[in-house]
Every structure is written in structure tokens, then in C-alpha cells.
Amino acid sequence: MAEILFVMTGADRWTLADGTAHPTGFWADEAVVPYEAFKAAGHRVTVATPGGVVPPVDPASLTAQANGGEENAAAVRAVVAGAPEFRAPVALTDVRLDDFDAVYVPGGHGPMEDLAVDADSGRILTRALASGLPVGVVCHGPAALLAAVEEDGTNAFAGYRITAFTNTEERLAGSADGARWLLQDRLTEAGLKVEAGEPWAPHVVVDRNVVTGQNPASAGRLAAELLKKLS
């Protein structure tokens, strides 16, 4: 049985370029699909957020449209509401990485608001990378990698092949024009090698102990790759 740390956003608003706040949080199935896969495999999950706040879910991710129908949406909503790990997170400052076997970061626009600049999250990810723990990150979750900065100011993940929610997908979703910055651009500027697949299609990149998924459709494949590394 492995211990898997979910590093999750505590932000329920995403600040746009004009200063307005857009409701957000974590994207439901990017947390739920891996959560269910890990639990079914017999592993334990601990959720950690900035300040230990209950991670807010993006309301748009709970709709029938976002989940391929009302039946799937209802199942996702039930896990979000009922999983005890999502209801009782620990604070990132209290995380002892030695207690865990892998780290996973789901997306949603929330991580662009807080995890992208959170020193505790960055410390956890930097140490996980250096120690060889499997690190899984999906969609907008790679925003958290931006805070993983070495003492010399370089990004710990610089040079790694990854994928993330692309500029094209942000434009197709209608969010690009209002954003203060785009994730693909910022990751590239930090020295990460972003590999973009087709918009909305499952796309996973594995480089050493780092597993990344491009979009919500990639969460299941990403979980499967992480499980391989834990076997």
C-alpha cells in the first residue's frame, strides 16, 4: 500500500488580467478519476492545501456537459462531496514528504492563482523530484511546477519533458484573452519542454519520475502511469 499526497488548490477565484475574479477551484474529474484509481488499487490518499482549507471545486466541472452526461456528473459530485480526504485536508506547511510514496497535483484554474506562487508546494515538489518520487500533474496543475525553484533561482523541472493545458485549448475554452498569463508560455519560459497533443484528446508525457497529462481527458491515463511506477 502506497501513501499518495494530493497537492490541491485552495483558491476559489482566478484573478483575470482586468482584475476581476472568475469562480474556479480544482477540476472535479481530474481529482476524482485518479482518486478512485488509487483507492481501488489499495493505496491511501492524503490531501494537502495552502492553509489546510477544504479544496474548492470549480462549479463548472460538476455539470453534465463537463462529464459526458448527468449520470457521470452525479457520480463525480458524489465523490467530491463524500470522499473524506477532500473534506479534511492538511496544511502544506505540515507535510512531511518522507511519509509519502508519490505526489499528485490535479488542475483547474485554481493552481494558477495559488500553487503557482506557493513556496510550500514548490518545496514539496522540488524535494519529491530530487528524491525520485513519482510526481503526477495534470491540465492546469503544472502551474504548481512554477513554484519549484532551486536556491539559484532556476526551476527544478527545467529540461523535463512535460505536457499541460495548452494555449490552443485555453483559446478554445474562451479563457485566453482574459488571462493574466498562459500556462504553456510560463512553463516554457521557466525552461520546461512542453509537448502539446491534439486539443481535448488524452495526452500523457512521462520523463523519468515525472508524469504529466494535458487536459481532463488525460487524468485516467496519468493515473495508470503513476500506478505502474508504484507497483
How do residues 161-176 score in pLDDT, each as one tens digit? 999 999 999 999 999 9
Average of per-residue pLDDT across 180-197: 98
**Predicted confidence (pLDDT) per residue in 117-140, tens digit:** 999 999 999 999 999 999 999 999
What is the reported pTM?
A: 0.97
The pLDDT assigned to 125 comes to 98
Q: What would the pLDDT profile of 199-220 be if each residue is shown by its tens digit?
A: 999 999 999 999 999 999 999 9
Q: Using H for helix, E for strand and C for coil, what is the string for the chain? A: CCEEEEECCCCCEEECCCCCEEECCECHHHHHHHHHHHHHCCCEEEEEEHHHCCCCECHHHHCCHHHCCHHHHHHHHHHHHHCHHHHCCEEHHHCCHHHCCEEEECCCCHHHHCHHHCHHHHHHHHHHHHHCCCEEEECCHHHHHHHCECCCCCECCCCCEECCCCHHHHHHCCCCCCCCCCHHHHHHHCCCEECCCCCCCCCEEEECCEEEECCHHHHHHHHHHHHHHHC
